[in-house]
Chain A
Amino acid sequence: SQTIHQWPATLVQPVGSPLSLECTVEGTSNPNLYWYRQAAGRGLQLLFYSVGIGQISSEVPQNLSASRPQDRQFILSSKKLLLSDSGFYLCAAAVGGLGNEQFFGPGTRLTVL
């Protein structure tokens, strides 16, 4: 079965600083990969998803970008963080083709001060 790793677990960054969050997947190949953000007490907002290396779909115009340099690596970045970028960031992988099942990593809690 697949395992999804995310790091760091928590991060405190000043406004205007850059960001790089990494997600890696073990135990499967060619997964669809997803980045979500969850504000406190709210639901999950899909930010980006990728169906293959170098293929990124952006769901919400914002201050963030994503890249997929390898099959099982997904990176979320920002050049300059905003206060509104604070939140809980979750990476997910879906395997199985059409009707695929999604699994989540443990998340990164980001606070921008």
Chain B
Amino acid sequence: GIQVEQSPPDLILQEGANSTLRCNFSDSVNNLQWFHQNPWGQLINLFYIPSGTKQNGRLSATTVATERYSLLYISSSQTTDSGVYFCAVENFNKFYFGSGTKLNVKP
């Protein structure tokens, strides 16, 4: 299967700081998604981004499919951004998840 590596595994930020999360994957994929898992366990879709750049408020993402990586940018972080961020790639109907980045934003 496809290997998905996320970095860093843990991240502590002061409120208002910016951060970049990275996702590397080992093979060509049809799709890449970023999710945020909130404290209740719900996985929230952030971006569907097989290639290119997208922005949604303080969050943006870039996927460079030819180099097999994606970046998630969080600007002006807030305490509500805390949780675990997962990257997932899809190939032939199967999804492969990274192990996540656990983000803690302190007030």
Contact = CB atoms under 8 A, between A and B. Distances in A.
Interface of A: 32, 34, 38, 42-44, 46, 49, 51, 59, 88, 90, 92, 94, 98-104, 106-107, 109
Contacts of A107: 41-42
Q: Is the interface of A mostly helix, strand, loop or mixed?
A: strand
Contacts of B99: 42-43
B33 interface: yes
A77 B42 CA distance: 22
Contacts of A99: 30-31, 50, 90
B42 A106 contact: yes
* 7 interchain residue pairs of minimum CB distance: A99-B30, A104-B43, A43-B99, A99-B31, A44-B97, A101-B48, A107-B41
A32 B41 contact: no
Q: Dominant SS at the B interface?
A: strand
Given A42-B99, A99-B31, A101-B31, A49 B93 contact: yes
Contacts of A88: 41
B43 A90 contact: yes
Given A32-B93, A99-B31, A100-B93, 9 more contacts: A42-B99, A44-B88, A49-B94, A51-B93, A88-B41, A92-B95, A104-B35, A107-B41, A107-B42
Contacts of B42: 104, 106-107
18 contacts: A32-B93, A34-B95, A42-B99, A43-B97, A44-B88, A46-B94, A51-B93, A88-B41, A90-B41, A94-B93, A99-B30, A101-B48, A102-B45, A103-B45, A104-B42, A107-B41, A107-B42, A109-B41
